[in-house]
Amino acid sequence: MGNDLAIYIDRLQSMAFFSGYPLIYAIVFVIAGEKRKQVDSFANRLIKLLPMAYALTGLLFLGLVAKDMFPDYTAKNIAAQFQTPYLKLWGLTALLFWIPVLRKKPVISLLHSLFFLYLLLKDLFLFMNDSIDKEMIQNDMKIYTTSLMINAGTLLSVIFIYLLLNRINKHKYKTSD
């Protein structure tokens, strides 16, 4: 039972960081609408910032994983922390979206996050077939809400940093003229 609980907690932690990204992605695309077809529109830049926000979420997830291992960073403790290694490793691959080549296609970040949304949808399907308890679905919905807030927060942070750097660069070029 103890091992099952640790696996369930690992699953919820992974879902808390990544399962809300597809909805944030969809909201940005809906907001961007027809403006994304314009080459130099803010909506087009906003879509290009999505993978960076996802990578920032991956960085926050790395922080959680590192915090869980603290202060014992031995190989034995690291192995013990990875009850479900495929979930944590898949989550940590979100860090790859810092690489410019992967950032160029925002849809790749969406495809990466769909795995975690699948876990949520699977639980909903099992609930509808009376295979799991109501409490598990309540946990999943709380986790999904948390994930939406984390992903919205990382997107807003990336937008803020982008606008700040853009403003600094414009100011720098004005003073150099």
Q: What is the DSSP string of the chain?
A: -HHHHHHHHHHHHHHHHHTTHHHHHHHHHHHHGGGGGSTT-HHHHHHHHHHHHHHHHHHHHHHHHHHHHTT--SHHHHHHH-SSHHHHHHHHGGGGGGSHHHHT-HHHHHHHHHHHHHHHHHHHHHHHTT-S-HHHHHHHHHHHHHHHHHHHHHHHHHHHHHHHHHHHHHHHHHHH-
Range of the domain at 163: 2-176
pLDDT on residue 83: 63
CA–CA gap between residue 151 and residue 158 (Å, rounded): 11
48/88 Cα distance (integer angstroms): 25
pLDDT for 122: 92
Judged against a pLDDT cut of 90, whether residue 36 lies above it is answered with no
Highest mean pLDDT among 9-13, 121-125, 155-159: 155-159
Question: pLDDT grade, residue 1 (50/70/90)?
Answer: very low
Q: What pLDDT was estimated at residue 82?
A: 66
Mean pLDDT, rounded, for 65-82: 75
Tell me the pTM.
Answer: 0.87
Q: In the chain, pLDDT over 70 holds for what percent of residues?
A: 88
Region 119-132: mean pLDDT is 89
The count of other CB atoms within 10 Å of the CB of residue 57 is: 28
- In 3D, which of 107, 119, 124 has the Cα closest to residue 18? 119
Exposure string of 144-154, with b = 16+ CB inside 10 Å and e = fewer, is bebbbebbbeb
Looking at the structure of the chain, the number of domains it has is: 1
Average pLDDT of the residues in 123-134: 88
